[in-house]
Structure formats: structure tokens, C-alpha cells
């Protein structure tokens, strides 16, 4: 056996060829792929769990923010119509816009009154000017506000003067008509009595006619002022609209709190101006708030129920309880204050 082993050719060791190297590489690649797949699965699971947790956390945060906004904690973020936070943070801007609005309104009404008064006097003195003055002011009032500002731009440029001049032209219609109505309501007896006392034209106008025309004049001023407060907002197209600037900016950006707040302030300004002017009217015309009723109106008209200068029974007013010659009792059909001729039987 040993000899057989010794006589057998020696066993040559097997060499590894290219095929063997390919098989080894293939096995190593498979192992690596298996490990990578396991790692990918593990990483995906971790990432998926983390993503789910992050998404869930973000969802809870959004829900909490929405709940807080609904409860009024952040009305600016929720874009609510009523927002006290907007008033607190934008108070200075609201104040500046309100002051600009008031300034434009006061300037326009004052200038309109200065122009309307001489126009009304001219229309009253020269009847030929009556129709043209009223017709021109009426035509100006029919022009749309945007078109009016566009027509005035070449004359005054881009500025507050355009807005003020437009409001002046709009106010002339109301003021001229009310001044004329007030002056024409003055009774002729009052003018004749003033002339008999030596009143000249200037003193007659400012001492008798104008005070008696104040109720109608102040009514026109109130209407013109309230209209000017509303029309000033249209001046935002040229950048001088006061509160109108905030309203238009808020409408462009759909900022609800800004639109509502500026609109409410504008309404408050109009109501406040009307109330203040009504108080001024009652202060300047105390005779309209004494006595009350038909008797007060009769004193303003200068006569009783029978018309201006007439007594209650239709005759010439002799005074009675309002002063002058006392009434003669028992003579309702005769002339007040003048007794019947002697010897005439009823």
C-alpha cells in the first residue's frame, strides 16, 4: 500500500481559474446586496416612522394655531373683520389718516361757503344771474367724482388741491340753494322795519336778513359737510383720500380689519360733524328753540296763522301777546288793535 502510494504520481494542487474568481465575486456581491437590502428596509422603516411623527406633530401644531386664532388670540393672522390688535398696532396710521380726512373736509366746506355766499347774493340781486348760477352749480353736481378729479388734474396737479377743489364744486349746489332759500324766507315786514330804523344795505344784510336765514343756511352746511366726508374717500385715487387710502389699500389686499375700521371711523366722523353743526345751529338761533310749536314758527315767519304780517284772524297784525298794540277783545272780525267806529252797531 505504501509502495502503491509511493509509485502513484503525486497529486497536483488545483489552480483557481477565472471561473472560480467569478463565482467568488458573485457570492460576495450577493452577500453585499442582501446586507444592503436589509439596511434599506431598516432605514425606510425608521424614516417612515420619523416622517409620520413629524407630520403628525405639524398637524397638531396647525390645529392648535387654528384653534387659537378662532378664539381671538391672533385676529390679524385669521384676517377677522373686527380686530382690536389692528387698532392697537396701527393706531398712529389711523390717526394720521383721520386728521388728513378732517382737514380736507373742513377746507373744502369753508372755501365752498366763501364762494357760495357771493354767488347767492348776486343771483338774488340780479335776476338774470339767478338761472345761470343755479344751472351751473347743478350741472357740476351731476359730474361723477372720478371724472371730476380727472378733469381737475391738469389744473391743480397730483395733490390735495385736486380733492379740495372737487369737493368745493360739489358743495356749491347745496350751499347756494340753501342760502337763497334762507334769504327769500325773510319777511318783507322785517326789512321794511329795519329800513325805517335807518339800516343800510350792509347792516340790513348782516343784522337782519342773515340771522333770520341762519336755519336754512346751517342746514345746507350740514348737508355739504356730510357729503364732503363721504366724497373725500374717493380722493384715494390721487393719494389724498384720508381714510379712503386705508379703505382702498385694504380692499386690494383683502385686509378685512383695515377696511372695516376705516369705514367705521368715516361714518363716525360724518355723524359727529352733523351733531356738532346741529348744536351750533341751535346755539346761533335761540329763537327756534323757545316757545315751541306753531307759535315759534309763526314768530320766525313774522306772522300768525294767516301768513306773514297777518294775525290769527287774517287781519293786519297788531301785536297782541307778541308785543305792540294789544288786541281789542270781542272783535274777532275787525282789524286787530283798531276799535270799531263810534255809533256803529254790530
How confident is the model at residue 158, as a pLDDT?
82
For residue 156, the model assigns a pLDDT of 87
Distance CA 256, CA 251 (A): 8
What local confidence, expressed as pLDDT, does residue 32 receive?
A: 46
Angle at 160 between CA 154 and CA 164, to 5 degrees: 90
In the prediction, which pLDDT does 228 show?
A: 94
Q: Is there a contact between 188 and 273 (Cβ–Cβ < 8 Å)?
A: no
Structure confidence at residue 291 (pLDDT): 52
C-alpha cell at 194: 329795519
Burial of 248 (0-12, 13-18, 19+ CB in 10 A): middle
DSSP string, 26-86: HHHHHHHHHHHHHHHHHHHHHHHHHHHHHHHHHHHHHHHHHHHHHTTS-HHHHT-SS-HHH
CB atoms within 10 A of CB 224: 26
Q: Where are the alpha helices (DSSP H) in the chain?
A: 2-7, 18-70, 75-78, 84-89, 91-125, 130-142, 145-156, 160-184, 188-196, 201-204, 210-231, 243-253, 256-284, 293-301
pLDDT in tens, the chain (346 residues): 334 444 444 444 444 444 444 444 444 444 444 344 444 434 444 344 444 433 344 444 444 444 434 444 588 788 888 888 888 888 899 999 999 999 999 999 999 999 999 999 999 888 888 888 999 989 989 998 888 988 998 888 888 899 999 999 999 999 999 999 999 888 888 888 988 888 888 888 888 888 899 999 999 999 999 999 999 999 888 888 889 999 999 888 888 889 999 999 999 999 999 999 999 999 988 877 765 444 444 444 544 444 444 443 444 344 444 444 444 444 444 434 444 444 444 3
Strand pairing category for 303-304 and 307-308: antiparallel
Q: Which residues make beta-bridge pairs with 303? A: 308
Burial classification of residue 182, based on how many CB atoms lie within 10 Å of its CB (0-12 exposed, 13-18 middle, 19 or more buried): buried
CATH number at 93-284: 1.10.3720.10
Which residues lie below 8 Å from residue 198, measured CB to CB, with a gap of 6+? none
Q: How many other C-beta atoms can be found within 10 angstroms of the C-beta atom of residue 183?
A: 19
In the chain, beta strands by DSSP E: 303-304, 307-308
pLDDT at 220: 93
Q: Write phi, then psi, for 310 (nearest 5 degrees).
A: -115, 155
**Dihedral over Cα of 268, 271, 273, 275: its sign:** negative
Q: What are the start and end residues of each CATH 1.10.3720.10 domain in the chain?
A: 93-284
CA nearest to 213, candidates 274, 285, 277 = 285
Quickly count: other Cβ atoms within 10 Å of residue 91's Cβ. Answer: 10
Q: Which DSSP symbol is given to 285?
A: -
Predicted structure pTM score = 0.61
Distance CA 160, CA 165 (A): 9
Rg (CA), the chain: 46
Cα(212)–Cα(183) distance, rounded to whole angstroms? 8
Specify the pLDDT at position 224. 94
- In angstroms, the CA 108 to CA 326 distance is 50
CA–CA distance, 184 with 200 (Å, rounded to integer): 18
Whole-angstrom distance, CA of residue 77 vs CA of residue 66: 9
CA distance 54 to 69: 22
Amino acid at each position: 500500500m505504501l509502495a502503491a502510494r509511493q509509485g502513484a504520481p503525486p497529486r497536483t494542487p488545483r489552480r483557481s481559474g477565472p471561473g472560480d474568481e467569478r463565482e467568488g465575486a458573485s457570492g460576495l456581491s450577493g452577500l453585499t446586496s442582501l446586507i444592503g437590502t436589509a439596511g434599506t428596509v431598516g432605514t425606510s422603516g425608521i424614516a417612515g416612522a420619523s416622517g409620520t411623527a413629524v407630520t403628525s406633530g405639524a398637524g397638531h401644531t396647525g390645529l392648535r394655531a387654528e384653534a387659537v386664532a378662532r378664539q381671538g388670540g391672533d385676529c390679524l393672522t385669521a384676517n377677522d373683520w373686527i380686530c382690536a390688535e389692528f387698532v392697537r398696532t396701527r393706531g398712529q396710521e389711523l390717526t394720521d389718516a383721520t386728521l388728513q380726512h378732517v382737514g380736507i373736509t373742513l377746507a373744502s366746506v369753508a372755501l365752498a361757503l366763501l364762494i357760495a355766499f357771493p354767488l347767492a347774493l348776486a343771483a338774488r340781486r340780479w335776476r338774470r344771474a339767478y338761472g345761470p348760477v343755479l344751472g351751473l352749480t347743478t350741472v357740476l353736481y351731476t359730474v361723477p367724482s372720478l371724472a371730476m378729479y380727472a378733469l381737475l388734474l391738469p389744473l391743480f396737479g397730483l395733490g390735495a388741491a385736486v380733492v379740495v377743489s372737487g369737493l368745493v364744486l360739489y358743495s356749491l349746489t347745496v350751499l347756494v340753494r340753501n342760502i337763497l332759500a334762507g334769504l327769500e324766507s325773510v319777511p318783507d315786514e322785517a326789512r321794511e322795519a329795519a329800513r325805517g330804523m335807518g339800516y343800510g344795505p350792509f347792516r340790513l344784510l348782516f343784522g337782519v336778513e342773515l340771522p333770520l336765514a341762519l336755519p336754512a343756511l346751517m342746514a345746507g352746511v350740514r348737508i355739504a359737510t356730510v357729503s364732503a366726508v363721504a366724497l373725500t374717500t374717493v380722493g384715494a385715487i390721487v393719494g389724498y383720500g384720508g381714510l379712503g387710502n386705508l379703505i382702498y389699500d385694504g380692499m386690494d389686499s383683502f385686509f378685512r380689519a383695515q377696511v372695516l375700521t376705516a369705514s367705521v371711523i368715516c361714518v363716525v366722523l360724518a355723524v359727529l360733524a352733523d351733531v356738532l353743526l346741529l348744536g351750533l345751529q341751535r346755539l346761533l338761533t335761540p329763537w327756534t328753540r323757545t316757545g315751541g310749536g306753531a307759535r315759534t314758527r309763526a314768530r320766525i315767519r313774522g306772522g300768525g296763522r294767516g301768513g306773514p304780517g297777518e294775525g290769527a284772524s287774517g287781519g293786519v297784525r297788531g301785536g297782541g301777546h307778541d308785543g305792540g298794540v294789544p288786541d281789542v277783545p270781542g272783535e274777532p272780525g275787525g282789524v286787530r288793535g283798531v276799535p270799531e267806529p263810534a255809533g256803529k252797531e254790530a
